[in-house]
Chain A
Amino acid sequence: MARKLLLDKINIEHIRLYDVYRQRGGYTAVEKALKSMSPDQVTEEVKRSGLRGRGGAGFPTGMKWGFLAKPEGVPRYLVCNADESEPGTFKDRYLMEFIPHLLIEGLIVSSYAIGSNRTYIYIRGEFAWIIDILEQAIAEAKNNGWLGKNILGSGFDCEVYVHRGAGAYICGEETALIESLEGKRGYPRIKPPFPAVKGLWDCPTVVNNVETLAAIVPIINNGGEEYAKIGIGKSTGTKLVSACGNIKKPGVYEIEMNISVEEFIYNDEYCGGIANGRRLKACVPGGSSVPILPANLLLKTAKGETRMMTYESLSDGGFQTGSMMGSGGFIVLDEDQCVVRNTLTFARFYRHESCGQCSPCREGTGWMERILHNIEYGKGKMSDIDLLWDIQSKIEGNTICPLGDAAAWPVAAAIRHFRDEFEWHVTNPDDALRRNYGLGNYAEPLQVMHSA
C-alpha cells in the first residue's frame, strides 16, 4: 500500500468531528509551528519539502510565500482557493467534506507563516453542504483555542472566514477570486501587479489551493525533508487524483508521485482498469484544461519511456506529445467514447464560463463551440478543422487570464492527436450520427524516434 499523508485517517469514523480528529493526532502541526518555530522557519520547511501548488499551475509553494511583499503596517492575507469547478476535478471537495479539520489545521499554520490574521476560504457556491461542514469545523477549532486571539499564547491572532462563490468557474482564477471576495464582479485582473504585491484590498495576498494547504500539515509534522523523500525529482510528496470516466473504480486517490500512469489505471489499488472489458482510448490526465492524450502517448512518452504520474513526466514532450498534471482530474475515455463529442462538451463549458472581458476568449470560445457542434452532428466541412485550429491558436496566449488558454488547449490537442476521427466525422456524416469512430489506431504502439 502506498503511503498516505492526507487521507490516511479518512476512514476513521467521525473524523469529521473535532474530538476524533484531535484524538488521532490532529492539530499537532499547529502546536509545533506556533510553539517551536518562527514564521520564516515554517516557510523554510515548506521550501525544503518541494511542495508544488495543487491548484493547477504547480508553482512551488514555499517560493510563492517567499515572494510575498511585507511592507510595514499593511495587513497580509491568505486566501484558500476552494472554488474547485474544473470538469473532472473533485479532490478538494472530498477532502473538505470528510476531513475538514485537516484544511483548517493547514490554514492556521500557513496563516502563521504568512502573517495573515484574517484568512478566507473562497468556496464554490454549489458546495452548500460543505460550507456548513467547514463552518462547524471553524467553530470547533475556535472553541478549542486554535483560532482567535493569541493562539496557544504565541501572540498570533487568526480568524478564518468562509466566503461562498456564486457559480462562476472563473472565480477560481486567483485575481477574479480576489475581486469576487471584495464584492465585485469576478473579472480577472490585468497583471502586473500580482497578488503577492497587491491582492485582496490592495494588500499582499497569497492564494493557495485546498490540497496545497492541507499538505502543510504533514510537512510540518514530519519535516520537509521527509516529505521530499516521496516522489520523483521535483514532484515531491503525495497527490490527490480524482479519477473518473470509464474506469472500474472512479474516486479520489492519494498517490505517491512515483507510480506509472499504467499502474494508476490498471492496478486494483487505484482505478482497477477499464470498465466493462473495454479498451483504453484516451485520457485527460489533469482536468478539462489540459491536453487530451491518446492511449499510446498516455502510457509511454514519445521517447518510449514509461509515463509516470509526476509533473515532469506528464508534461514530457511539451504540448506536441505530452499533457499536464493540472489539477489532478483524471478523465478516462474508453474505445466507445467520441473525442469530438468530448471536445464539444469542454468547449461548451468554456464558452459558458468565459467572463467576457477580452475579445479573443469571449468571441472565440463560442465560435469554436459552434463549429464543433457542426462537426459532431454531421454538418462539418474539412476546412472547419483547420479553421478550429486557427481560432484556438489565436486565443491562446492573447488573453488576460489563462481561461483563454484552457479553452484553446483541449481543442488543439484533440485535433493534433485525433485528426482522423475529426475527418471521419466530416466524410461520414451519417455514420457519425449513428455510431462512434471507435479505437482507431490510438492504442497502437508508436514508433519511437531515435535521435542520431
Chain B
Amino acid sequence: MAEEKKIFKVTIDNITIEVEPGTTILQAARRIGGDVVPPAMCYYSKLKGSGGKCRTCLVRVAAGSTADPRPMPKLVASCRTNVMDGMVVESMTNNTVLEARKAVVEFLLINHPLDCPVCDQAGECDLQDLSYDHGRESTRYEFERRTFERHDLGPYIQLHMTRCILCFRCVFAADQLTNKRAHGILDRGDHSEIATYIEKSLDNDFIGNVIDVCPVGALTDRTFRFKNRVWFAKPVEADRSCTKCSGKVRLWMRSDR
C-alpha cells in the first residue's frame, strides 16, 4: 500500500482547515488569516526554539483531537502547540482567551517607557500594534517603571533595555546566525537584562539581524538613529555582491521620488 499522506483537520473559531502534522496552532491560524490569528511577540518562524515565552498567543483548546476530544485544562501557547486531527481551538471566540491576552499586553506594558515618539521602531513595532489591537486604554500600574542605562553594543547597535520585552529572539538569532554569540540574558526575573556581560561590541557580519528580529525598539540601528521614520521608507530592490549570503535583497530607504 502506498504511504498515505496524513492530513489533520483543525477548527479555529469555527473555521476548519487541513494542515500537515507538525503544524502549530499559530501556523494553522495564520493560514486561515484575519481575526482568528492570535498575536505573537516572541515567536519567529525562522528561529528554532523561539516562542512560548511572551504568552500573547494563548488560545483555548476546546477539544484535543478526534481520538481524545477532551478540552485542555489550561490555555496553551498556540506558537508551541501542535495541532492534532480533529482539534477544536477558540481564539477570538472565547472570552477567557481575550481577557488573558489583554492581561498579557498589560503585563508587557507596565514597565515599558511608552517613549514611542522618540523611538526608531515606532511604526513597525509589534508592541504598538499589539497594544492598539488588544490593550486597555489606560494603565492600572501606579509605580515607578523599571529603568536601565542605554548601551551602545558596538558601532551599529544601540540597546534600550527599558523597551525590551525579553522575547529572547535576538539571543536565538545570534545563536543560530552568527558563529559566536557574544550577548545574552543576564540576571533573572524582572531584573533580567540583555547584556554582553563584559562591555563588548557586537560586530559579527550578521549581527545586524538582531535589530531586525527585535519586535520592539530595544535594539535599534545606530546609523539610522533619529534620521528617519519607517513610514517614509520605501522598498527598493538592491544589488548585492557579497560572498556570505545569497538571495534577493530588499532595501528600505527614504526617497523622495
Residues of A within 8 A of B (CB): 168, 170, 185, 190, 351-360, 362-367, 370, 387, 394, 397-400
Contacts and interface: CB of A to CB of B under 8 A. Distances in A.
A9 B130 CA distance: 61
Contacts of B55: 358-360, 398-399
Contacts of B143: 367, 370
A417 to B, nearest CB: 24
A394 B53 contact: no
A384 to B, nearest CB: 9
B103 A360 contact: yes
B182 interface: no
B116 interface: no
B189 A362 contact: yes
A149 to B, nearest CB: 38
The SS class assigned to the A binding surface is helix
Contact of B110 (A170, A190, A354, A367): A367
**A353, A355, A359 pick with most chain B CB within 10 angstroms:** A359
A398 B103 contact: yes
Q: Which of A355, A362, A397 has the most CB of B within 10 A?
A: A362
B7 interface: no
Contacts of B168: 357
A168 B192 CA distance: 14
B104 A359 contact: yes
Nearest to B192: A356
B54 interface: yes
24 contacts: A185-B185, A190-B80, A351-B190, A354-B188, A356-B166, A357-B53, A358-B55, A359-B53, A359-B54, A359-B55, A360-B55, A360-B107, A362-B107, A362-B189, A365-B189, A366-B189, A366-B190, A370-B143, A394-B99, A394-B103, A394-B106, A394-B107, A397-B74, A398-B58
A336 to B, nearest CB: 30
A397 B143 CA distance: 25
B197 interface: no
A180 to B, nearest CB: 12
Contact of B141 (A168, A185, A190, A367): A367
A359 B189 contact: no
Nearest to B82: A192
Q: Which 10 A-B pairs have the closest CB atoms?
A: A394-B103, A363-B107, A190-B52, A354-B189, A356-B192, A356-B189, A359-B107, A397-B74, A366-B190, A370-B143
A420 to B, nearest CB: 24
A356 B53 CA distance: 9
Given A354-B189, A359-B107, A363-B190, 5 more contacts: A185-B185, A363-B107, A366-B190, A394-B106, A399-B55
Contacts of B74: 397-398
Nearest to B52: A190
B62 interface: no
Contacts of A397: 74-75
Nearest to A170: B188
Contacts of A190: 51-52, 77, 80
A400 B100 contact: no
Instruction: Name the prevailing secondary structure of the B interface residues.
Output: loop
A363 B189 CA distance: 8
A114 to B, nearest CB: 27
Contacts of B187: 356
A354 B103 contact: no
Interface in B147-193: 165-166, 168, 185, 187-192
B108 interface: yes
B140 to A, nearest CB: 6
B41 to A, nearest CB: 8
A290 B121 CA distance: 43
A360 B106 CA distance: 9
Nearest to B141: A367
Contacts of A364: 107
Contacts of B23: none
B27 to A, nearest CB: 16
B190 A362 contact: yes
A400 B99 CA distance: 18
Interface in B8-65: 51-56, 58
A355 B189 contact: yes
B111 interface: yes
A366 B111 CA distance: 10
Contacts of B75: 397-398
Nearest to B109: A363
From A185, A360, A364, A365, name the one whose CB has the most chain B CB atoms within 10 angstroms: A360
Contacts of A387: 140
Contacts of A354: 188-190
Contacts of A185: 185, 188
Contacts of B56: 359
A362 B100 contact: no
B65 to A, nearest CB: 14
B190 A356 contact: yes
